[in-house]
């Protein structure tokens, strides 16, 4: 097949060029290090502050959960089952 022929030709060409490319690769492997940035952008500083503030927050609003528990225990929390069923039908058909 043609694919086999192309693959064979490419393999032969790559094999013949291996010895020629080694010195060029050795010369180009010397890379100078980029200078370190002395300042951090204002956007990054804002992101870091926001991240720290978010880490300090609770995952759950415990006051709201406790209030809901109390209303369930006392019977003050009322469910309108007809309204829930209507909303479910509107949402899901």
SS3 75: coil
Query: Does 68 or 9 have the greater pLDDT score?
Result: 68
Rg, the chain, Cα only:
34
pLDDT at 45: 87
pTM of the predicted structure, to 2 decimals? 0.34
Query: Does 62 or 1 have the greater pLDDT score?
Result: 62
């Amino acid at each position: 097949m043609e694919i086999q022929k192309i693959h064979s030709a490419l393999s032969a060409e790559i094999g013949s060029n291996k010895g020629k490319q080694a010195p060029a690769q050795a010369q180009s492997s010397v890379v100078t290090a980029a200078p370190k940035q002395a300042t951090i952008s204002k956007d990054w500083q804002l992101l870091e502050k926001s991240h720290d503030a978010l880490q300090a927050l609770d995952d759950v609003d415990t006051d709201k959960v406790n209030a809901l528990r109390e209303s369930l225990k006392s019977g003050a929390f009322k469910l309108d089952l007809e309204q829930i069923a209507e909303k479910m039908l509107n949402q899901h058909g």
